Amino acid sequence: MLKKYTKPYPTIGEIISGKNFDYVSYRGYDEKRDSPPATGNNTDGEFCGCFKVVNGEIVPLDGDSYYDSEPVIAAEEWTMPDEGIEKGLTVVVAMEFIPASELDEYFKKEREKENNHESD
């Protein structure tokens, strides 16, 4: 079960310091919008990527960048021997998710600005 932290949240770096993890499930949660919605006391978050940890250092498994300074809302250590994961970790970090409608409106305005500059 995920351990939920209280503010000030620990960072990824504090949680992984001096440790090794075969696989870390990196998940995001928008507290302000409750997105994705928390179920009961569980804040699962949205899957956003994965990495492993070697001697407390993040090693991306998917080509993305991860920062040990990110605040962690919840975390859980686990194992999945059938998948070759002896030591796994889930971290749920604070993120801001922008609704698609807001993003569509933003891009529409940017295109209009671009079109107006081209006609100058």
Distance CA(45)–CA(42), nearest Å, equals: 9
Summarised one tens digit per residue, pLDDT across range 31-44 is 776 666 565 555 67
Residue entry with tokens 């075969």 = 22
Summarised one tens digit per residue, pLDDT across range 19-71 is 999 999 999 988 776 666 565 555 678 899 999 999 999 999 999 999 999 99
Q: Are 29 and 36 in contact (CB under 8 A)?
A: yes
- Burial class from Cβ neighbours inside 10 Å (0-12, 13-18, 19+) for residue 21 reads buried
